[in-house]
Amino acid sequence: MTNPLLEFFWRGDLVALPNIAPTRTLLQLLREDLNHSATKEGCNEGDCGACTVVLGEAQDDHISFSAVNSCIRLAHSIHGMALWTAADLAAPDGTPHPVQLALHQCHASQCGFCTPGFAMSLFGVYQNQVLKDTPVTRTLAQEALSGNLCRCTGYRPILDAAQHMAELPRVQVNDTDLLSKLQLLAHNKQGLEPDFSYISPSSLSELLAARVAHPGAQIVAGCTDVGLWVNKLHMDFAQVLDVTRVAELKTIEVNDSHTLIGAAVNLTDAFAALEADRLQLHSFFSRFAGLPVRNSGTLGGNIANGSPIGDSMPLLIALRASVVLMSVRGARELPLENLYTGYRKNIMAADEVLAFVHVPRPQTDELLRVYKVSKRFEGDISAVCLAVNLQLRDGQVIAASLGTGGVAATPVRAVQTEATLCGQPWTQATVLQATSTLRSEFQPISDMRASAAYRLEVLGNLLQRFWLESQGQHNVSLESVNLATFNTEGKNA
């Protein structure tokens, strides 16, 4: 295999690197190939944020800035982009950037190992919020830093710095000049030569043809999971097929009935599109990994990965989403839950790719909630996930859709519980019956995250929580939900 030329802009200059292996990560490229020590290696799995960098990508007439984890980002994936690390913030004469000044003035660093990652997440906030006159609230700062861990400073001064940097004199990237350079570089497309180790088509037709020609190539999108295979399992791939430059798969279209999301749309943008119709989903989306992971990971990748604890699938199942599979032979559409045949296994043929996700828009009288239970509030994988979507009319359940995660070998629809609910009055007695059905519908396993008994207990408690919230109770915790509140006759104890 021939390694294609990797080109990107860094520190104002075009960097052109030959012979970069397809599974070389961006962090390895920086620290080992370019001898750049400012970007740190911590967990090497996208959890701690010490390796955070910012990427700039040309999108029409502007540059999109995003903070990402360099440890699980393949180096070739930044071809045609601009790169910033913690050593690139200060001006050429050494004048500190407002991000650096804010961290210093707010005493937001002690040992300093995590500081480069925090600085880059804050640089992303600076470019996307401060320079666009969006107020940096405490909540926004917390969400932006959700992918960064600090062991010694404590988060209060770092959050103070996030808000303080907006008060300092502004420093802007020369977007116009950089955009012209990126657009010029975009015309120098990567070839689709059959012996290339890293293939990154720019159109859907090119992708489908490449999929047929290279059935053994490892498909990657944001690489937030495949990156772990490389770093932790020491897996190597002779050939990689990257879908993230396929123009058709990076689009979001909204019509009267559906939102159509391309499989290569990153989770940040995909979640924003879904949240636009259903504002109550924001808190759930903000708990999906950390922002740098959401900026790289894609909705299609999360679905195709097929993890039984992938958080987007239970919600999409409850929303009655469908997926579109495509190949040179044509396209087929099926309900998302029908994609899976077993643990991380699906029905896709060797020449097929997951291309689009169809998500119905809210229905009249829709009542939707999604719950995630994990050991950590953010940056953690679910032990149990339950999404409940009911249509209520005149006190009756006229439609029910429930998606679950963490209780079976795949994300799965709770069809028996749906049948228990449909056509019934929305009462406590109905909820009790549905809770019993829900707990008996699955046989989860015990693992390091939770025991099988715990998963079943929590699964039922979450449905009871849904009932209490539907009756106007707010801030319901799982600790307050137990069968003592619901006696067997369906009356208040």
Q: Which residues is 384 bridged to in the sheet?
A: 373
Structure confidence by residue, pLDDT tens digits, 147-156: 999 989 999 9
Overall average pLDDT of the 102-122 stretch: 97
Cα separation, 214 vs 242, in Å, equals: 12
Statement: residue 272 has pLDDT above 60: yes
Q: Name the pLDDT band for 163 (thresholds 50, 70, 90).
A: very high
What is the overall mean pLDDT for the chain?
Answer: 94
Statement: residue 480 has pLDDT above 70: no
Structure confidence by residue, pLDDT tens digits, 286-310: 999 999 999 999 999 999 999 999 9
Q: What is the pLDDT of residue 483?
A: 44
Q: What is the pLDDT of residue 380?
A: 87
Statement: residue 486 has pLDDT above 80: no
Q: What is the pLDDT of residue 490?
A: 40
Cα separation, 34 vs 10, in Å, equals: 12
Overall average pLDDT of the 183-203 stretch: 85
Q: What is the pLDDT of residue 489?
A: 38
Q: Name the pLDDT band for 187 (thresholds 50, 70, 90).
A: confident
Among residues 86, 316, 408, 39, which one has the least CA distance to residue 416? Answer: 408
pTM of the model: 0.94
Q: What is the pLDDT of residue 478?
A: 59
Statement: residue 91 has pLDDT above 50: yes
Cα separation, 2 vs 201, in Å, equals: 16
Among residues 213, 381, 242, 225, which one has the least CA distance to residue 297? Answer: 225
Structure confidence by residue, pLDDT tens digits, 324-334: 999 999 999 99
306, 187 in Cβ contact below 8 A?
Answer: no
Q: What is the pLDDT of residue 190?
A: 64
Overall average pLDDT of the 189-205 stretch: 87
Statement: residue 485 has pLDDT above 50: no
Statement: residue 493 has pLDDT above 70: no
- Of 42-56, 288-302, 429-443, 463-477, the one with minimum mean pLDDT is 463-477
208, 350 in Cβ contact below 8 A?
Answer: no
Q: What is the pLDDT of residue 476?
A: 72
Overall average pLDDT of the 190-196 stretch: 79
Sign of the Cα pseudo-torsion (259, 265, 271, 273, in order)? negative
Q: Name the pLDDT band for 30 (thresholds 50, 70, 90).
A: very high
Contacts of 350 (CB under 8 A, 6+ apart): 215
Q: What is the CA radius of gyration of the chain?
A: 24
Cα separation, 182 vs 432, in Å, equals: 59
Cα separation, 336 vs 333, in Å, equals: 9
How many alpha carbons fall within 13 Å on the CB side of residue 242?
26
Q: What is the pLDDT of residue 475?
A: 74
418, 401 in Cβ contact below 8 A?
Answer: yes
Q: Which residues is 64 bridged to in the sheet?
A: 57
Domains and CATH numbers, the chain: 6-167 (3.10.20.30), 366-480 (3.30.390.50)
CA distances, 407 to each of 337, 342, 437 (Å): 14, 13, 14
Q: What is the pLDDT of residue 487?
A: 42
Structure confidence by residue, pLDDT tens digits, 361-405: 998 899 999 999 998 888 888 999 999 999 999 999 999 999 999
Tell me the two tokens of residue 400: 């029910």
471, 481 in Cβ contact below 8 A?
Answer: no
